[in-house]
């Protein structure tokens, strides 16, 4: 669903000041007689709304598709960057769209539409923020300087999001209830633009975007076909067609899946969405190829641009979805390994809130890990301490009780299962997030299976049937990918088979296949059910489909072995709406790396207070906490370094050295009274060459930034925070360093790297 794909992309871009074409900074609270408030050093002179997000200038991106949105600007080059930002918005690549629009303002500070683009990038429609509102206000202030068409776009967003803004525009009055329908307002206003400007393909594409799930799919498709008739490779039109048909009718958009993924092949989301469609219609091999390509595109981007997983809003979602598709292909080990990769990725206190749901890389990984372990009945692993890194949190408590109840049942330990069900029931009141959403279903499933195990078969099967039907009815709303570990009609079918009712089992598996196309677990069940009934031809047909879907499956899966045990002869066959490649044999190494790895730290080349050269090679084999600060005149920096200095012994205890670097010369650092007693080296970065390499420099405002960067013993960046105030959570830094563990055994590092770089 569109709403579910929003994720939690990075914040806002800094505004450019030092360029001679940029407007005068807006005075901020605390400024005195034109001098900056010391507490604002290192912050944007335009206020907090501009302090977050990417701080380096954009580059001309290939492999993202093309779109053209004519705007008013005094600098011709701005049109190129605006088009890049607009194209990226069509693929929901919000962070990079922000970067392009900010550069537009660097070149033309009075560009109203660049502010409009920033409002869209940071608001994304469904999570419109105070910062996005500030950008929109700037666009509104300049709307009289643009064409009537551009003004209509600005006013459309104004009516939808900030109708209280004053100005010449007549405010659209809406009730509190109607104000929740922001997309409806946008769809109405953009429709007016399309009618007034019939050749504006952007208006038509955006009209469909904000009409999705609220209007006729056939009508939406007709409008998008008009866009594609004028611009056959328009990335937004193909993207929105895929969303329009996502679900059981996804075959209607197969042509756009192929085109979109080829046109915008370097965009993770442009590979993700075809994977959505293919998996929704049971083309699991093709879905895996596209979703794997999505994760690789994201990893290539992160490595190239020094981005960490928690800063890339769609990466964790891609990897979670790939794990689900791999599960459906019978590739349990690959699915679980992908989940563990997410869990092992760097954490961040702002992006890994236990209540953050799928906006957290860890939560996506936990969801995939639990789903895979339960689906493949890894009962011993679920019960083993340490297999699942549970936290002391209400959501984890609920899922843990559920998983352990199933594991005890799977091992025939009824009393323990009952204890865990009681625990699960008691935890319901404090459940949060997905645990709260699925708590009732967990109780139904576990309670039903316990009833059957106790001999109360009729009651148990009735309860499980009710839960299975309710899950089936809402499945396509949950399938992004599904959080709930298994499809209950598969569980019901297996129960019927165990109790010698193959006809009822076949009916249950058929329900499963109607909802989850080409589900391998249900196909196996149909082979066994039909064979038991004596319908050998039908059994062979289902077996052929299973052999195709699970052609790359792990060896020894009980569902495949049980199907083979029927003795039914079959050859692999595919009954999908289109031909598929084989995921197991497709080479994807050219799309990007197979797994995420921390990136190599840039070169550090600085002088200490004694004029001696300092590089990271000097610290090879030890962890480094590298702090970019803004000199002793910055009060925040002084407090930050003092806080680190007080705990220097603890950093030494985790094999970590502290380095602090600023614009100050070696001579200034040598005589600094405020910094002289610090128990670590002060480095000089005159000219900001190091700050630029470490992305601790703002290209838009041409100033250095606060940064705290963790570099491991191999010289790789494991975590970083740049911009805004200095990072003061010393406990977090120490915990991250502890998680890195002791120095590796000689040769171990190379072995790990060799394993990590292996391509399928």
pLDDT, mean of residues 741-755 = 45
Distance CA 341, CA 302 (A): 15
CB 347 within 8 A of CB 310: yes
**Which tokens hold the place of 739?**
């998680």
Counting every residue written for the chain, the total comes to: 760
Higher pLDDT among residues 514 and 5, named by residue: 514
Is residue 517 left, alpha or beta, with left meaning phi > 0 and alpha meaning psi from -120 to 50?
Answer: beta
Phi (first) and psi of residue 412, to 5 degrees: 75, 20
Angle at 65 between CA 72 and CA 266, to 5 degrees: 130
pLDDT category at 724 given cuts 50, 70, 90 is confident
pLDDT for residue 745 is more than 70: no
Structure confidence at residue 39 as a pLDDT band (50, 70, 90): low
Topology of the domain covering 1-46+62-170: 1.25.40
Determine the average pLDDT of the residues in 345-374: 82
pLDDT (0 to 100) of residue 417: 98
Give the pLDDT confidence score for residue 42 in this predicted structure: 73
Q: For residue 8, give the 3-state DSSP assignment.
A: coil
User: Mind listing the pLDDT tens digit for each residue in 186-236?
Assistant: 999 999 999 999 999 999 999 999 999 889 999 999 999 999 999 999 999
In the 8-state DSSP scheme, what is residue 221? H
Kindly report, residue by residue over 387-439, the tens digit of the pLDDT. 999 999 999 999 999 999 999 999 999 999 999 999 999 999 888 889 999 99
CA-CA-CA-CA torsion sign (390, 394, 400, 403): negative
CA–CA gap between residue 731 and residue 736 (Å, rounded): 9
Q: List the structure tokens of 274.
A: 């075809």
pLDDT at 430: 87
Is it true that the peptide bond before 524 is cis, omega within 30 degrees of 0? no
The dihedral over CA atoms of 248, 338, 365, 622, expressed in degrees to the nearest 10, equals: -160
Question: What is the residue extent of each domain of the chain?
Answer: 1-46+62-170, 488-581, 606-756
Task: Identify the pLDDT of residue 677.
Answer: 80
> CA-CA distance, 526 to 524, in Å (whole number)?
5
Give the Cα separation of 632 and 639 in Å (integer): 10
**Rounded to whole angstroms, how far apart are CA atoms 167 and 158?**
11
Mean pLDDT on 116-137? 85
pLDDT at res. 490: 98
pLDDT in tens, 262-273: 999 999 999 999
Which H helix or E strand runs over 664? Answer: none
Q: CATH top-level class for 606-756?
A: alpha beta
Among 29-38, 142-151, 718-727, the range scoring the smallest mean pLDDT is: 29-38
Q: What is the pLDDT of residue 323?
A: 98
CA nearest neighbour of 285 among 596, 578, 481: 578
Bigger pLDDT: 284 or 183?
Answer: 284
The reply to whether 1-46+62-170 and 488-581 are identical in fold is yes
pLDDT of residue 636: 85
Confidence of residue 32 (pLDDT cuts 50, 70, 90): very low
How many other CB atoms are there within 10 angstroms of residue 99's CB atom?
28
If DSSP codes are grouped into helix, strand and coil, which group holds residue 256?
helix
604, with CB counted inside 10 A (0-12, 13-18, 19+), is: buried
Q: Over the stretch 669-680, which tens digit does the pLDDT of each residue have? A: 998 766 768 899
13 — pLDDT class (breaks 50, 70, 90): very low
Closest CA relative to residue 542, chosen from 555, 580, 550: 550
How far apart, in Å, are the Cα atoms of 519 and each of 70, 304, 471, 482?
47, 37, 15, 13
Mean pLDDT of the chain: 88
Determine which of 97-106, 219-228, 419-428, 717-726 has the lowest per-residue pLDDT on average. Answer: 717-726
Q: Determine the pLDDT at residue 37.
A: 58
Task: Give the model's pLDDT for residue 167.
Answer: 39
Share above pLDDT 90 across residues of the chain, in percent, rounded to a whole number: 77
Looking at residue 249, the DSSP 8-state letter turns out to be: T
| 305 has a pLDDT exceeding 80 | yes
- Give residue 634's pLDDT: 85
Sign of the torsion formed by the C-alpha atoms of 368, 371, 372 and 374: positive
Residue with tokens 């995921």: 583
Q: What does the pLDDT read at residue 192?
A: 98
Which CA distances in Å does 410 have to 404, 417, 524, 608? 10, 9, 19, 63
The per-residue pLDDT for 632 is: 81
CATH no., domain 488-581? 1.25.40.10
- Which is more confidently placed, 2 or 561? 561
């Amino acid at each position: 669903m569109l709403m579910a794909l929003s994720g939690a992309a990075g914040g806002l871009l800094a505004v450019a000041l030092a360029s001679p074409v940029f407007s005068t900074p807006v005075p901020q609270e605390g400024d005195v007689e034109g001098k900056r408030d010391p507490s604002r050093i290192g912050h944007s002179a335009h206020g907090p709304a501009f302090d977050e997000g990417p701080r380096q200038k954009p580059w001309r991106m290939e492999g993202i598709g093309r779109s053209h949105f004519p705007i008013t600007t005094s600098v011709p080059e701005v049109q190129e960057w605006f088009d890049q930002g607009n194209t990226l918005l069509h693929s929901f690549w919000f962070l990079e769209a922000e970067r392009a629009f900010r550069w537009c303002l660097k070149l033309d500070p009075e560009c109203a539409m660049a502010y409009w683009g920033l409002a869209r990038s940071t608001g994304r429609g469904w999570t419109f923020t105070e910062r996005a509102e500030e950008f929109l206000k700037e666009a509104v202030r300049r709307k009289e300087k643009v064409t009537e068409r551009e003004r209509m776009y600005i006013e459309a967003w104004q009516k939808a999001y900030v109708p209280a803004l004053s100005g010449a525009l007549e405010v659209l009055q809406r009730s509190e209830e109607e104000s929740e329908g922001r997309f409806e307002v946008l769809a109405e206003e953009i429709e007016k633009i399309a009618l007034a400007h019939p050749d504006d393909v952007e208006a038509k594409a955006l009209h469909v975007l904000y009409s999705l799930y609220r209007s006729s799919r056939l009508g939406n498709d007709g409008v998008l076909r008009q866009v594609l008739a004028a611009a056959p490779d328009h990335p937004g039109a193909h993207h929105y067609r895929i969303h329009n048909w996502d679900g059981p009718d996804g075959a209607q958009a197969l042509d756009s899946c192929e085109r979109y993924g080829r046109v915008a092949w370097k965009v993770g989301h442009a590979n993700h969405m075809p994977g959505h469609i293919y998996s929704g219609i049971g083309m699991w091999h093709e879905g895996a190829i596209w979703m794997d390509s999505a994760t690789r595109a994201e990893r290539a981007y992160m490595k190239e641009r020094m981005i960490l997983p928690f800063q890339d809003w769609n990466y964790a979602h891609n990897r979670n979805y790939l794990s689900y598709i791999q599960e459906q292909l019978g590739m349990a080990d690959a699915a679980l390994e992908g989940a563990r990769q997410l869990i092992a990725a760097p954490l961040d206190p702002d992006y890994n809130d236990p209540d953050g749901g799928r906006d957290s890389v860890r939560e996506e990984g936990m969801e995939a890990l639990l789903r895979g372990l339960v689906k493949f009945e890894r009962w011993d692993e679920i019960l083993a301490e340490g297999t699942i890194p549970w936290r002391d949190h209400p959501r984890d408590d609920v899922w843990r009780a559920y998983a352990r109840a199933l594991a005890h049942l799977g091992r025939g330990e009824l009393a323990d299962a009952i204890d865990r069900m009681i625990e699960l029931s008691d935890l319901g009141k404090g459940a949060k997030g997905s645990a709260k959403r699925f708590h009732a279903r967990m109780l139904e499933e576990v309670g039903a299976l316990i009833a059957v195990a106790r001999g109360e078969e009729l009651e148990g099967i009735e309860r499980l049937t009710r839960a299975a039907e309710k899950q089936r009815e809402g499945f396509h709303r949950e399938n992004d990918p599904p959080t709930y570990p298994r499809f209950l009609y598969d569980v019901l079918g297996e129960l019927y088979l165990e109790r010698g009712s193959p006809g009822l089992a076949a009916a249950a598996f058929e329900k499963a296949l109607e909802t989850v196309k080409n589900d391998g677990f249900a196909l196996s069940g149909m082979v066994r059910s039909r064979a038991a009934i004596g319908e050998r031809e039908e059994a062979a047909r289902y077996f052929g489909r299973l052999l195709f879907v699970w052609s790359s499956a792990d060896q020894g899966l009980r569902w495949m072995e049980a199907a083979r045990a029927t003795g039914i002869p079959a050859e692999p066959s595919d009954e999908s709406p289109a031909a598929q490649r084989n995921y197991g044999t497709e080479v994807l190494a050219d799309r990007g790396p197979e797994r995420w790895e921390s990136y190599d730290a840039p070169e550090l080349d600085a002088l200490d207070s004694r004029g001696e050269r300092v590089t990271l090679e000097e610290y090879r084999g030890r962890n480094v906490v590298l702090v970019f600060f803004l000199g002793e005149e910055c009060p925040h920096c002084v407090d930050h370094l003092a806080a680190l200095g007080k705990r220097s012994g603890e950093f030494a205890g985790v094999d970590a050295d502290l380095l602090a670097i600023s614009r100050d010369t070696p001579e200034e650092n040598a005589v600094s009274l405020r910094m002289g007693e610090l128990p670590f080296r002060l480095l000089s970065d005159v000219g900001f060459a190091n700050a630029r390499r470490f992305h601790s420099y703002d290209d838009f405002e041409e100033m250095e930034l606060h940064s705290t960067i963790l570099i491991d013993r191999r010289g790789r960046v494991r975590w970083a925070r740049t911009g805004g105030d200095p990072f003061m959570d010393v406990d977090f830094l120490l915990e991250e360093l502890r998680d890195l563990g002791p120095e590796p055994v000689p040769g171990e590092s190379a072995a790990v790297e060799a394993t990590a770089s292996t391509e399928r």
